[in-house]
Amino acid sequence: MTLRHTLAPLALVLAGLTVAASAAEPLKVGLMEDISGDLAVIGLPKLHGSQLAVEEINKAGGVMGRPLELIHLDPQGDNARYQEFTRRLLSRDKVDVLIGGITSASREAVRPIVDRTQTPYFYTNQYEGGVCDANMISMGAIPEQQFSTLIPYMVEKFGKKVYVVAADYNFGQISSEWNRTILKELGGTVVGEEFIPLGVSQFAQTIQNIQRAKPDWILTINVGAAQDSFFEQAAAAKLNLPMGSSIKVMLGFEHKRFAPPALNRMHAAANWFEEIDTPEAADFKKRWHAKFPNEPYINDMGYNAYAALYMYKDLVEKAKSTKLADLRKVIATGQACIDAPEGKVCIDPKSQHTSHRMRLISVDDKHAVKVVKDYGTIQPYWLGQIGCDLTKKNDRKQYTPSDLPKKS
Amino acid sequence: MLKLINGSQTLGATRAFWLPFVAVVAAMLVYPVFADAYSVGNMAYLLLWVFMAMGLCLVWGYGGILSFGQTLFFGIGGYGYGVLAINLGGESATTVLALALAILASGAVAAVLGYFMIWGRIGGVFFGIVTLSSTLVLAFFLGQTAGPEWRVGEARLNGFNGMKDMAPLNVPWFGGEPLYFEGVPLYYLVVGLLLVVYLGLRILLNSRFGHVVVAVREDPQRAELLGYDVRKYQLATFVIGSMLAGLSGVLYTSWGQFITPASVGLPAASMPIVWVAFSGRSDLTATTVGSFLVLWTFQALTVHSQQAALLLMGAMLLATVMLAPQGFVIGMVQLVRGVFAPRRRREAATAMAEEGGS
Amino acid sequence: MFAEIFSFAYQFADVFAFLILAAAGLAIVFGMMGVINMAHGEFIMCGAYVTVGLVHAGLPLVLAQALGTLAAGVVGVAVEWTIVRKLYKRPLDSLLATWGLSLIVTQGMLLIFGSSLAGIGTPQGSFSIGAYTFSTYRLVLFGCALAVLAVIYLVFMRTRFGIHARATMQNASIAQATGVRVGRVYALSFGLGAALAGFCGAMYAPTMTLMPTMGAAFLIESFVTVVVGGANVLLGTAPAGVVLAVVRTALNGWGGQIIGQIGMLLAVIVVIRLLPEGLSGWLARRTR
């Protein structure tokens, strides 16, 4: 036997050994969630959702046989920290996938950095929509899913005159744009619009303005603990108008945190809220509360964070690779879907946003939540409609109804 | 002029200082050889904030006026760079022009605001309040610029989501491709600038100008009676310190291609005060070294113990004020001196005794 | 017609109440001792949290609010004794120290209690005039603001402590030379300032969301009022409240809340420039 003959099988054995080792080598998940600071009440369920998903996936054998390793950093809601940690996770820890960010500002801080790499970035919050970026996969609900269901319902049920109370920054202003666009098609009118700076907590003037304008219902897209004082003050003044929102109840679980009847007559359109009553949802809730018995509420962001890891698992296993280009090939087929506790969720190839099963909920004066209407699955159609097609080009921009892609 | 690097206004004039200084600089220059790309980039990031701290040291430590406005000028520098870089195109020389103009813009605003305050005889605590109010006004204003109508030329201010897509600093380089200041090149740029600014400030502080500034801090009336126009010196100090904050702003925006109003308002506005108060505002070297230490420690804390980081910062600030009001780093220096000094005194005493005896 | 006039008066009363209640405690501490208490918001938060905690434990609201106020006062005395006492001649250092304290308290509260506490409803009902409905409780807040001003006046003008306090404010060393126990005056004054802050928190707790950082919502307004009012809390705070309430109400009505907020900050800058000693300095000079 020549040396070559002994070496060849030896090489094969060694190769087999290294393959086996990398089969057990973990997949690193870089997670940036705020669990301290003002956003902690929303951020903590997100961390828990990721932790639960990692535990379940690893118990079931991991992703392609590889366990998930969660590396979590807490940026405390500071954009500079988000930038630092993104670089750290990408360059130093060399994570395979990046998840996280709560505010749109933090997401916009992360995107330029992650766009220079081949790492996928899952943004798991509902937001104002419009990001057309090949590195980003958005797991949250967006205006065409939330406002296109909520506003027609409110107009039909309560009337065409709307007063808008919005937080005075991008999310509030873009959501207002959406509201105006949708209302115009329905023949409704905005009888008043107020943009409240973050941190303002006194609303006596706003309540008076609302009463002067005599709307049929109020669109409440105010953000932050200080601005949430609006509900208590409006209830105390017996304003008692129906309210609609894309961010109350399922995001900050105000109906659990404020004394009734502050949130009476609130309506929201959500892909997830803890009160969903299906067998899958019940099972999911049971598993969550088993691991986190003190969780005050499983909010939609926490749920999206959980679903994101399952979506990542599905993508990697279908692509048989962790490379962004291969994952995107799977997305382009339109077959990137998972069976989530809300229902079936698929990634839209053109925008890389997910479809959602939308339900409309209302809150009564005892703060009990009721499902009023089930809209089935709604696709994230808007970005594709205005010209974003990530299967063809990577715009890397965020569009809004008043800032559309230039027709080239 | 180089003689002025050493003087009575700055700590550290002997070989005991300069030898370790050279060693540290040498270590900084060879650092990228040993460290990985992430660490180098991170070090550049930590160092770019030091300019703002040095500026505050100049204004507050040497000038005696507490300015809460460092992040105001940080924001003007950062947004200014963003607007200019986006509008001028972002290739090579234009980014350097953007850097220069942005810093000048911070200086110009500082001159106007400073003139308003100093010629209006606003001093002490009220100076701090006015600068804080100005900073908050800018932060609030920028926060509500989300709509597409808020743009300067091509550059959208974009409210809270922040301005992005500006090119990082780059210069024309040999071989066609411009040299982008990111990673290792950015590190060397920041280190180079740091050295220049540090030595430059030492010269400035030990010069006649620096001595007058300190005299004004100690007793403005006396300085005035001696014939100096106190207001001009205060204004000059304020403008220089603010321009350094603008430099930090430009470097930050170039580093991350991103800037938001959050970098301007509270709690960001309080950070330079914490760094400088902790380090010891009355000395430039103490501030430089101490600020870097605080930044580095804070980052390490937020990575490892997260929620406790801000709490520890608060504790540090309180402890410094109660136990070492002149600054932690200065306190350490004095402690070290106290340990070594008795021996020197003893030696001097023995020498004198011998001389006296002979 | 009447409804419109009443509505405007109600808005003014609401803003005035907020400014006075938020600023009273800070004004006393600053006016008396020249200490800029950056932890002022945390005393407000203390009053609010103690009140809500006690209500959840079953106590009636009014008693809980009284105890919340007291708790903040006690904490204030403790803080004065341990920290502030050493920093009287050093205004910038007292600013930094109280700031450090503020960071410690807010982060500590976040760690211990989490970032949100379940609220309590606003008591009392509402009444309507014309097309508007108003919360009755906010009139109570206005009443409290007036009561606070009256209490401050009575304490400082009609009690022995008040005389000692005013003497110390004017010239501490002479006051000490005449036998006033200046240390005790300072401690009680700081405690009074903290108690007033706690009272603000206790009264506003039923109307707001409770977070460890809720003090920040009061901080800007209270600073603005104190700066505009000047060092003499008796002479300056109430006029400052009136002027700023008018400015804020008008700007809110005209341009919205962001204009109102920016307007307040610009007002600070203008007042500092034109009336460096605030309204109290200007009024004092005119009455001489």
Convert the pLDDT of each residue in B82-129 to its tens digit.
999 999 887 768 888 999 999 999 999 999 999 999 988 887 778 888
Q: What is the structure's pLDDT at B270?
A: 83
Q: What is the structure's pLDDT at B209?
A: 92
pLDDT tens-digit readout, C153-167: 898 888 988 888 888
Q: What is the structure's pLDDT at C3?
A: 81
pLDDT tens-digit readout, A146-167: 999 999 999 999 999 999 999 8
pLDDT surpasses 80 at A279? yes
The closest CB to that of A109, out of B38, B146, B258, belongs to B258
**B234 in Cβ contact with B59 (< 8 Å):** no
Nearest CA in chain C to A34: C115
Q: How far apart are CA C77 and CA A101, in angstroms?
A: 42
| Sequence-ordered strand ranges (E) for chain C | 126-129, 132-135
Q: What is the structure's pLDDT at C173?
A: 87
Using a pLDDT cut of 70, give the percent of chain B over it: 94
pLDDT band at residue A202 using 50, 70 and 90 as cut-offs: confident
Instruction: Please give the structure tokens belonging to residue A356.
Output: 């959602």
Establish if C134 touches chain A: CB-CB under 8 angstroms.
yes
Q: Provide the shortest C-alpha distance from residue B299 to chain A (in Å).
A: 8
Phi, psi of C20 (to 5 degrees): -65, -50
> What integer is the mean pLDDT of B303-332?
80
**A275 in Cβ contact with A369 (< 8 Å):** yes
- CA nearest to B242, candidates B82, B112, B141: B112
How open is the CA angle A358-A364-A366, to the nearest 5 degrees? Answer: 130
Q: Provide the shortest C-alpha distance from residue B331 to chain A (in Å).
A: 30
pLDDT surpasses 50 at A8? no
The domain ranges of chain B are 2-305
Using a pLDDT cut of 90, give the percent of chain B over it: 44
Please name every residue paired with A194 in a beta bridge, in sequence order, or none if there are none: A165
Q: What is the structure's pLDDT at A16?
A: 46
C271-274 — which CB contacts under 8 Å span 24+ positions? Answer: C271/C227, C271/C228, C272/B122, C272/B126, C272/B129, C272/B130, C272/C227, C273/B116, C273/B117, C273/B120, C273/B122, C273/B130
**Do the Cβ atoms of A108 and B164 come within 8 Å?**
yes
**A96 in Cβ contact with A359 (< 8 Å):** no
Phi, psi of B275 (to 5 degrees): -60, -50
pTM of the model: 0.86
Pick from C207, C259, C261 the residue to mutate for testing the A interface (most A CBs within 10 Å). C207
Residues of B with CB under 8 A from a CB of C: 66, 116-117, 120-122, 124-126, 128-130, 133-134, 136-137, 140-141, 144, 266, 270, 273-274, 277, 307-308, 310-311, 313-322, 325
Q: What is the structure's pLDDT at A21?
A: 39
Phi, psi of A91 (to 5 degrees): -85, -40
Which residues on chain A are in Cβ contact (under 8 Å) with C257? 168, 194-197, 200, 205-206
Nearest CA in chain B to C103: B314
The closest CB to that of A226, out of C11, C121, C217, belongs to C217
Q: What is the structure's pLDDT at A146?
A: 92
> What integer is the mean pLDDT of A328-340?
92
Q: Provide the shortest C-alpha distance from residue C134 to chain B (in Å).
A: 30
Question: Strand A121-123 relative to strand A136-138: parallel, antiparallel, unpaired?
Answer: parallel
Q: Give the CB-side neighbour count of residue B274, counting CA atoms within 13 A.
A: 29
pLDDT band at residue B145 using 50, 70 and 90 as cut-offs: confident
**What's the mean pLDDT when you consider all of chain B?**
86
pLDDT tens-digit readout, A102-120: 988 899 999 999 998 999 9
Which residues have a Cβ under 8 Å from the Cβ of A185 and sit 6 or more positions away?
none
A335-349, B32-46, C204-218, range with the lowest pLDDT: C204-218
Question: Strand A161-167 relative to strand A217-221: parallel, antiparallel, unpaired?
Answer: parallel
pLDDT surpasses 90 at A123? yes
> What integer is the mean pLDDT of B19-41?
90
Q: How far apart are CA B35 and CA B29, in angstroms?
A: 11
